[in-house]
Amino acid sequence: MFNFNDIKKNFLPDLLAGIAVAVASVSTGAAFGILSGRGAFAGIVGTAVISIIVAFLGGTRRQIALPTGTMSAPSALMIAFAYDSFGKNAQGEQFITLIMILTGIFLIIGGIFNLGRFVSLIPELVVYGFANGLAGIIIINQASRLFGFSGFEVKIGDTRVLGIETGSKLTGDMALNIFIALVTLVLIFAIPIITKKLGLSEKVRAILPASLITIVLMTVITTVMGLGIQKTTLGVQLDSVGSYLDLIKSYFPTFAFMTDMNIISKALPWALQLSVIAYLDTLLTSVLLDNMTGEKTKRGKELVAQGIANAISGSMGGILGAQSTVTSILALKEGMKTRVAGVVAGVVTIIILALFSNYVTLIALAVFAGVLAKVAWDTLDKPFFQAYFSRQWYKLQLRNYQLFIILWTAILTILIDLNVAVLTGTIIYYILKRSNKVKDISQADYDEVKEQKLEDVLMYD
């Protein structure tokens, strides 16, 4: 697991990489906690717990696991269902914890039976589709909070068959909330450009996360101006370690709760869906990062670690997570060599939580809406759509079928759920592939130096 010679040799770069990851991840962890509906505190707890456990037990030494937008968007639907069914009380929290524990168990089973090998069967087109769908869920959720529109659902009996979930409208002046969210979004895009123009080195810019700088700046401005808009709540009120331990005890499902088959039947579909998302988010990220580092992730071991981490995060009042592409790349740029970087990131996050958690309540929720809008933008599959129009892919039947699969998966992810979207999208892909009408997308499609003539494009692999 840990090679102590490696630790000694690489301790300083791992220490610096871990600190950089923690500073960058605290703000996004809080944002993902708010997006999930469990609160900023839960997001930061999840950031610390998942980072440490996966660093210790995971199947790779050079990747970072944290709460992600991909996991938090569907978690928001699950948590809304929990509060709807049981109320925002101890029972509701126990139901959420139960689902997170079951999600962890499914991932552990997947790791034990080496189900990670099946990730290669899922077409990239379907992956792009569900990523776009999850971005859509984040956008809809935050837009509804700013503009105040409500969603809808269609039921057959008591079963929801489709619909759109929205968040509760922010209090205070709507125009002011929208303005603050837009300024936040613009600043997150602008700060990297400004720091580059100032001549700061890439290493310095890497430890100045735009989202954190923007949150601090906007919080100072809104606080000094005394703007009457809705602020962030931690989701819990804690004044000591003892009160946190009491919280964990109240969140953990009782034996009667865990053995109630009616409750279990409600929890299992959510756990299955979330475990599939964690499976995809983790292993597809690992494929990408393995290509960058030249190392090979042990997929079974990684799934077991993710299962344990998510179950414990849920039991400690946190949220779900997976391997994080952006954070892992940041850590690699900062010189991460071993698992120590992930452990340091988690420990520093705990220190930040202990010292600065009270300041989180000064942050306007509209600021987090802007942060999450940037997350949604980063989640969208932009290269395909850019190439579709700039390279006139719309003139090719092959590319139109690819677009259909992406849109099909995205729309079903938003309206139904990811399991249905991925399953049906994959089936459609293989049916069309069998009839030579479509092939999967790859990086080579974007890297072509010269355009192929329309008549030269094959309809098969």
Do 372 and 387 lie in one domain? The reply is no
Q: Select from 75, 64, 360 the least CA-distant residue to 212.
A: 360
The C-alpha atoms of residue 152 and residue 99 are separated, in whole angstroms, by 24
> Which of 323, 343, 378 is the last residue before a domain boundary?
378
The C-alpha atoms of residue 207 and residue 188 are separated, in whole angstroms, by 14
| Owning domain of residue 386 | 381-456
- Position 272 in a domain: yes
Do 374 and 386 lie in one domain? The reply is no
The C-alpha atoms of residue 61 and residue 89 are separated, in whole angstroms, by 39
Do 254 and 394 lie in one domain? The reply is no
The C-alpha atoms of residue 34 and residue 373 are separated, in whole angstroms, by 13
- Position 413 in a domain: yes
Q: Select from 163, 198, 173, 197 the least CA-distant residue to 77.
A: 163
pLDDT digits (tens, 9 = 90+) for 345-360: 999 999 998 888 888 8
Residue 388's pLDDT is 94
* Full 3-state SS string of 352-395: HHHHHHHHHHHCEHHHHHHHHHHHHHHHCCHHHHHHHHHCCHHH
The C-alpha atoms of residue 244 and residue 239 are separated, in whole angstroms, by 8
Do 135 and 251 lie in one domain? The reply is yes
> Which of 378, 394, 418 is the last residue before a domain boundary?
378
Do 186 and 45 lie in one domain? The reply is yes
Do 358 and 424 lie in one domain? The reply is no
- Position 450 in a domain: yes
Do 69 and 25 lie in one domain? The reply is yes
Instruction: Say how many domains are in the chain.
Output: 2
Do 390 and 369 lie in one domain? The reply is no
Do 324 and 209 lie in one domain? The reply is yes
**pTM here?**
0.85
Contact between 337 and 62 (Cβ < 8 Å): yes
> Which of 378, 393, 418 is the last residue before a domain boundary?
378
Residue 165's pLDDT is 82
Residue 12's pLDDT is 85
Residues 6+ apart with CB under 8 A from 140: 151, 164, 165, 166, 414
- Position 225 in a domain: yes
- Position 251 in a domain: yes
Residue 23's pLDDT is 86
Quote the DSSP letter at residue 118.
G
- Position 293 in a domain: yes
| Phi-psi category of residue 157: left, alpha or beta, with phi > 0 → left and psi -120 to 50 → alpha | left
1: tokens are: 């697991």
Do 347 and 303 lie in one domain? The reply is yes
The C-alpha atoms of residue 205 and residue 210 are separated, in whole angstroms, by 9
Name the stretches of the chain with pLDDT < 50: 449-461
- Position 21 in a domain: yes
pLDDT digits (tens, 9 = 90+) for 383-401: 899 999 999 999 999 999 9
Do 420 and 338 lie in one domain? The reply is no
Q: What are phi and psi of 161, to 5 degrees?
A: -105, -30
- Position 461 in a domain: no
The size of the chain, in residues, is 461
Do 343 and 210 lie in one domain? The reply is yes
pLDDT digits (tens, 9 = 90+) for 60-92: 988 999 999 889 989 998 999 999 999 999 999
